Structure 1
Amino acid sequence: MTAYLDFLRSKMKVAEATGFDVDDADINPDLAPHCRAIVKWALAGGRRAIFAAFGLHKTSIQLELMRLIGKRAAGRRLIVLPLGVRHEFFSEAKERFHGEFATDLHFIRRDDEVVDDDVTHVANYESVRDGKIDPSMFAASSLDEAAVLRGYGTKTYQTFLPLFQGQPFKFVATATPSPNRTKEIIHYAGFLEIMDTGQALTRFFQRNSEKANELTLYPHKEEEFWLWVNSWAVFLQSPADLGFSDDGYVLPPMEVNWHEVQTDHGAAGFDRDGQGLLINDPGASVVHAAREKRISMEARIAKMVDLIAEDPEEHRLLWHHLEDERRAIEAAVPGVRSIFGSQDLDTNEQNAVDFKEGRFRDLATKPEMSGAGCNFQKHCAWSIFAGIDAKFHDFIQAIHRIVRFGQSRACRIDIIYSEAERGTRRILEEKWAEHDRMMERMTEIIRKYGLGRLPLESVLQRSIGVDRRVETGEFFHITLNDCVDEAQRTAADSIGQIVTSIPFSNHYEYTASYNDFGHTDDNAHFWRQMDFLTPELFRILKPGRLACIHVKDRILFGNVTGSGLPTVSPFHAETIFHFIRHGFDYCGMITVDTDVVTENNGNYRLGYTEMLKDGSKMGVGSPEYVLLFHKPQTDRTKGYADERVTKSRDAYSLARWQLDAHAHWRSSGNRLLSREEWAAIPPRAVPKAFRTYSEATVYDHEEVVAIGEVLQAKDRLPTEYMALAPVSHSPWIWSDVVRMLTLNGSQSSRNVEKHICPLQFDIVDRLIDRYSNPGDVIYDPFGGLMTVPYRAILKGRIGMASELNEVSFADGLYYCREAEAKRQTPSMFDILEAPPIAPSILSPIISEPAD
């Protein structure tokens, strides 16, 4: 057990320190105290994230990191930053770095501009992303305004991840690491090589199995997640968060004014079927959003001009999204200068510098062009948004070009939108509130623990183990406990059958405990934990009996693997070889069909639109499998189990056996439906009707396609589930499993939490009937809602299981008692009463723990 505990303790992941220590005297004294503290912490870590609020001097922190690395370690240094921001770094270097602490900067656009002198190289993201600069030439790098990494599937992220792989020193800096989506924080961890992004997703975030990409932080993992983040990132809203004075670091008051203008609904246009639209709906599509911006542009620009007239001499940032809007602003606002994408870079930067220094009054620009890195608070305290969209990151960055530390005046933010964009406004406000909540959460962590060592040992200690609880009945024995420990307590050769759905590697986590098998890094890590359980399952199973293991393959997404398309991890094959390695005979597998349409709604892997673009990237639906493993019988000269599973001819007829073995069911008497009659059937009734049709006829692929096309033409082919699912006539493929027949149905009726992966009754019942005797003990090490013991009780067996989740255990106990009550209630036809099974029947099976 000691080895198993050591394995569990090793699960706690923290960011390793790969840097070096630096004396306080070696750090530039012109840096603010909180900056000096962050520099020291980041250098010790080697690969760290600096998420500091607007105006907390991330620029000087990065410059000092590169300077000190140049003094201590060999190799070139590189700071990567957005277009139009380099002037901020050169100004900061000139202002704060003097004498022995001076730092030289060298701007580069290509590899041939790299120098070997003791300088810090500065480059734009575009130069690196487009392959003009090779990051492998540098030993240290820092990404300024690193929020460009937040989008996992973006070109920048996918390009930067391998380019910077293995760099000894890596840093990211931004004020908005994840303005409204917590899960995006882990993308920085992936870049910094703290933890693989896919691993972090499965460790901390729960999936919505019915909707792709919808991930939310596990409630029971929230504390651990933020402690883990704080081991490699500093979230700072004020120097006071680290115990320093906040003098000069109080954000200015901000007045936000929303201005709604009317739109012309008569210009709403048409939908894709040519039907006229009654109202403008910018949320319907990108095309509709662009159309609405064009329709309302004149009214929005007129409103902007009215606002400017309230104080004509004030300096203003005029934010917009379209080039047509820029041109309209230039025509309506005298003296305005603009920054735009096709503009010469030097002109772009000069306009930004001149506006920063107050040399002209109005600057028109887009949030994606000037929303990051530019500090305009010296002469400007007024921003006007000529329009809105749902990109909150760009929106909040644009606001904080003036609402930042160092701003001496109250800030005014005017936001203009059309009445058709009320939904977009609501989205922005919701994201803003979520952003504020996240920052408050991290402020709590940093104020509590600072930049010192986190109390990870106490977190780990609270997360391992569970207070064992045993509940028994006449026909069941279930335990709240780790399954490895519980299996070790179970007598050898005592279990008649094992029926279980093992965790699908790290696809789901079911508890806050490190005992949870889902709390693993990857498949290899999962199987290392199974190496503690599977030998115990082999030991406790009766010789010659079966372990029936339910599994499903894992879908791997291209933006995680780098393959560019979804691939499949053959988890069922890994399961086969794992159990063989631990002594089991492999006897085959049963395939359980799943609904490919429902599956695609959960992962977007088999999208019809993508199929039309390129069918070569398409796989097929992923079924489930029941793998049959046999513990070798004592007498290997014969194939019989030590204690055989027998059936009487009266109870199990030859006819039933033939149907069960062949599973080829026929019916007669009704004629086949015409295609027109198929189209007349209500959509919800089509799946059941098609099952009957498939069972009664020889399968004709082209005819089924034709039926589907008729349904599609009548708009009766559903997209949320599969209407024309083929029926299998093969005994090794079960296509008639009722997917909804699980204990989650009872959970829903009781208004309690559903299980993530409930096991269907059909699967459990057939396995118990086929491979066990009445009175056998049926065991499930991963009990969940106790489906296996529940069905075992009703099938005249003894149910036994372990479970780690307290809520699931309590619900499962309810169902076991319910099944036992049903089994013990005699019917009016029970003339002969069978003698009850003594409560002590399990006594020889379960042992008390040793000291």
Structure 2
Amino acid sequence: MTVHQDYGAFLAAKARLDPPTGLAVVPELPEALFQFQRDVTGWALRRGRAALFAGTGLGKTLMELSWGDAIARETGGMVLLFAPLAVSAQVIREAKKFGIAARAVSQQSDCGPGINVTNYQKIEHFSLSAFVGLILDESSILKSTSGHYRTRLIVEAAPVPFRLAATATPAPNDFMELGNHAEFLGAMSHSDMLATFFTHDGGETQKWRLKGHAEDDFWRWLASIAVMIRRPSDLGYEDGAYRLPPIRRHQRTVRADYRPSLETGTLFPMEARTLGERLAARRDSVDERVAMAAELTPRDRPFVWWCNLNSESDALAKAIPGAVEVRGSDAPEEKERKLIGFSEGRIRVLVTKASIAGFGMNWQHCADTGFVGLSDSFEQVYQAERRFWRFGQEKPVNVHFIAAETEGAVVANLRRKEADAEKMAAAMVRHMADLSSAAVRGQAREIPAYDPRQAIALPDFLARGAAA
């Protein structure tokens, strides 16, 4: 008998598709959902543990709330939704807007049946095993393989039967992020995913590529736990209102204060190439870039300036009348107060960093923004721009990039990175589109090919060993 059980467990571990663990019947969902949102939410409910990789502005918050509300109603239990700082208040406003019951909570004793909303910084005040459902808004927080939140969420979420992770389209070549999502959902461990589908790319242990023979299996497996969508047409729906107004990027260049150098043998300023050279170029041009930013800031409409250095942020807040600065050193409550103040129109000009406010906020009321300093993270620029350029934006969005002449063609480089990212994302969608579309739009629950309840016919030599 022992051999039968061990062999069954061995085969079950080899099953490629993660079987659904969700609701057999999808309950009534909010009328506010568009058809593609309704179908995606229904699929996630049938799955039980799922990831929504949906582009910015596709209504992830409404889908999260609809999913959590359905789980709470069907089970009578508590659902906990984690969101970035200040975004939790935005989630509560969205819930009220759509008539979905949700409460803001700071600790376990605040929670009750239904949807409970908090931010990631308060995770230590909750016992995750007490909840029937867990939702991660902006689940890119799982990106780091060694991050504090990543590890704690994966370990403590294991007993939670219903789990939903939602983020904008992940980087198609960031397999670490995909592996962390799979581990959070309980579909496969991060290390097992790499061992099953990937191989080392050269000598660097952090670089992996899909095994040639495993590519189809990988995308099929990923489509069993995640929906990837940049626009409704990726799943066969009409794009309709999701066609956005144009986004216009403008590079503004300030002259570099440069002197000929006998040491380097250069008479003219040279474009920075290394990270150190770019950082030096930014530090040497703070005053000039801040002065240009102050001149560009309109006096009659909202504006957000994104900085990279504290010196940029300090100088901008002083140079622009009425500007409010959100710093990393601010207390969480103070950050939240300022970000909500801008969202609700009480603050007209905001000065902050993409690492602080570049994720999750819905700022369609603003169509003008700019970067007075850049990090080397394309994802941060992408996310920061999409606080404004998203569904619900009615005006063309203008984005200004202010750089020293030694920093080179900033906008051209961003466009190149964006084209590369779009190409990779398109490939990811192309691989998954048919599989995801069939699962999302179909009404039947998925049935894995392997059913461990079936009797296993063992070879004679194993059967004789079991009898002995």
TM-score, scaled relative to structure 2:
0.83
2:174 is aligned, of 160, 181, 184, to 181
Which residue of 2 is the match for residue 83 of structure 1? 85
Kept after mapping to 2: 8 A contact 1:230/1:445 = no
Which residue of 2 is the match for residue 60 of structure 1? 62
Q: Which amino acid aligns with 1:118?
A: P
Offset, 1:88: 1.4
Local SS of the residue matching 2:163? strand
Offset, 1:176: 3.5
The structure with the largest alpha-carbon Rg is: 1
Offset, 1:127: 1.5
Offset, 1:301: 1.3
| Higher normalized contact order (CA 8 Å, seq sep 6+, divided by chain length) | 2
1:370 is aligned, of 333, 354, 357, to 357
1:21 is aligned, of 16, 19, 24, to 24
Structure 1 distance, partners of 2:206, 2:429, is: 28
Structure 2 distance, partners of 1:37, 1:141, is: 20
Distance 1:105 1:299, change over 3 A: same
Local SS of the residue matching 1:151? coil
Local SS of the residue matching 2:82? strand
Q: Which amino acid aligns with 1:303?
A: M
Instruction: Tell me, yes or no, if structure 1 residue 169 matches structure 2 residue 156.
Output: no
Distance 1:326 1:10, change over 3 A: closer
Structure 2 distance, partners of 1:61, 1:47, is: 14
Q: Which amino acid aligns with 1:432?
A: E
Structure 2 distance, partners of 1:199, 1:446, is: 21
Which residue of 1 is the match for residue 94 of structure 2? 92
Which residue of 2 is the match for residue 124 of structure 1? 119
Which residue of 2 is the match for residue 436 of structure 1? 422
Local SS of the residue matching 1:258? strand
Structure 2 distance, partners of 1:8, 1:162, is: 25
Kept after mapping to 1: 8 A contact 2:313/2:351 = yes
Which residue of 2 is the match for residue 590 of structure 1? none
Structure 1 distance, partners of 2:407, 2:393, is: 31
Instruction: Tell me, yes or no, if structure 1 residue 316 matches structure 2 residue 307.
Output: no
Distance 1:361 1:234, change over 3 A: same
Local SS of the residue matching 2:193? helix
Distance 1:169 1:418, change over 3 A: same
Distance 1:427 1:107, change over 3 A: farther
**How do 1:551-570 and structure 2 match up within 5 A?**
none
Instruction: Tell me, yes or no, if structure 1 residue 305 matches structure 2 residue 294.
Output: yes
Instruction: Tell me, yes or no, if structure 1 residue 349 matches structure 2 residue 336.
Output: yes
Kept after mapping to 1: 8 A contact 2:17/2:224 = yes
Structure 2 distance, partners of 1:206, 1:73, is: 42
Kept after mapping to 2: 8 A contact 1:316/1:361 = yes
Distance 1:185 1:267, change over 3 A: farther
Q: Deviations over 1:625-663 (max 9, x none)?
A: xxxxxxxxxxxxxxxxxxxxxxxxxxxxxxxxxxxxxxx
Structure 1 distance, partners of 2:208, 2:413, is: 18
Local SS of the residue matching 1:452? helix
1:224 is aligned, of 217, 221, 228, to 217
Which residue of 1 is the match for residue 72 of structure 2? 70
Offset, 1:412: 1.2
Q: Which amino acid aligns with 1:437?
A: K
Instruction: Tell me, yes or no, if structure 1 residue 331 matches structure 2 residue 318.
Output: yes
Which residue of 2 is the match for residue 107 of structure 1? 105
Offset, 1:95: 0.9
Q: Which amino acid aligns with 1:191?
A: F
Q: Which amino acid aligns with 2:41?
A: V
Q: Deviations over 1:415-434 (max 9, x none)?
A: 12234434987765454233
Kept after mapping to 1: 8 A contact 2:83/2:118 = yes
Which residue of 2 is the match for residue 618 of structure 1? none
Offset, 1:282: 7.1
2:237 is aligned, of 229, 244, 247, to 244
Instruction: Tell me, yes or no, if structure 1 residue 48 matches structure 2 residue 39.
Output: no
Q: Which amino acid aligns with 1:307?
A: L
Which residue of 2 is the match for residue 705 of structure 1? none
Offset, 1:346: 4.1
Structure 1 distance, partners of 2:320, 2:23, is: 54
Offset, 1:322: 2.1
Structure 2 residues without counterparts, runs of 5 or longer: 1-6, 443-447, 450-458, 462-468
Kept after mapping to 2: 8 A contact 1:316/1:380 = yes
Which residue of 2 is the match for residue 205 of structure 1? 198
Distance 1:228 1:422, change over 3 A: farther
Structure 1 distance, partners of 2:302, 2:410, is: 28
Structure 2 distance, partners of 1:212, 1:10, is: 25
Kept after mapping to 2: 8 A contact 1:371/1:394 = yes
Count of matched residue pairs: 432
**How do 1:685-700 and structure 2 match up within 5 A?**
none
Offset, 1:30: 2.4
Kept after mapping to 1: 8 A contact 2:50/2:185 = yes
Which residue of 1 is the match for residue 3 of structure 2? none
Kept after mapping to 2: 8 A contact 1:141/1:169 = yes
1:421 is aligned, of 407, 413, 422, to 407
Structure 2 distance, partners of 1:180, 1:261, is: 35
Structure 1 distance, partners of 2:260, 2:163, is: 52
Local SS of the residue matching 1:229? helix
Offset, 1:11: 4.3
Offset, 1:452: 3.2
Kept after mapping to 2: 8 A contact 1:150/1:177 = no
Distance 1:163 1:23, change over 3 A: closer
2:390 is aligned, of 390, 397, 404, to 404
Identity level (%) = 29
Offset, 1:74: 4.9
Offset, 1:50: 0.7
Kept after mapping to 2: 8 A contact 1:20/1:46 = yes
Offset, 1:263: 3.2
Local SS of the residue matching 2:220? helix
Structure 1 distance, partners of 2:96, 2:157, is: 29
Offset, 1:196: 1.0
Local SS of the residue matching 1:407? coil
TM-score, scaled relative to structure 1:
0.47
Kept after mapping to 1: 8 A contact 2:169/2:228 = no
Q: Which amino acid aligns with 2:203?
A: E
Distance 1:212 1:125, change over 3 A: same
Offset, 1:313: 2.5
Local SS of the residue matching 2:366? coil
Q: Which amino acid aligns with 1:319?
A: W
Q: Which amino acid aligns with 1:208?
A: D
Distance 1:10 1:164, change over 3 A: closer
Kept after mapping to 1: 8 A contact 2:53/2:229 = yes
Structure 2 distance, partners of 1:215, 1:424, is: 29
**How do 1:799-818 and structure 2 match up within 5 A?**
none
Distance 1:46 1:407, change over 3 A: same
Structure 2 distance, partners of 1:320, 1:405, is: 25
Structure 2 distance, partners of 1:336, 1:304, is: 12
Distance 1:240 1:281, change over 3 A: closer
Structure 2 distance, partners of 1:427, 1:221, is: 33
My pick for the range that moved more, 390-399 or 8-17, is: 8-17
Kept after mapping to 1: 8 A contact 2:83/2:136 = yes
Distance 1:8 1:79, change over 3 A: closer
Q: Which amino acid aligns with 1:444?
A: R
Structure 2 distance, partners of 1:219, 1:332, is: 56
Which residue of 2 is the match for residue 260 of structure 1? 253
Kept after mapping to 1: 8 A contact 2:306/2:372 = yes
Structure 1 distance, partners of 2:246, 2:409, is: 27
Distance 1:264 1:82, change over 3 A: same
Structure 2 distance, partners of 1:54, 1:267, is: 46
Distance 1:418 1:118, change over 3 A: same
Distance 1:267 1:42, change over 3 A: farther
Offset, 1:373: 1.1
Kept after mapping to 2: 8 A contact 1:389/1:424 = no
Kept after mapping to 2: 8 A contact 1:47/1:232 = yes
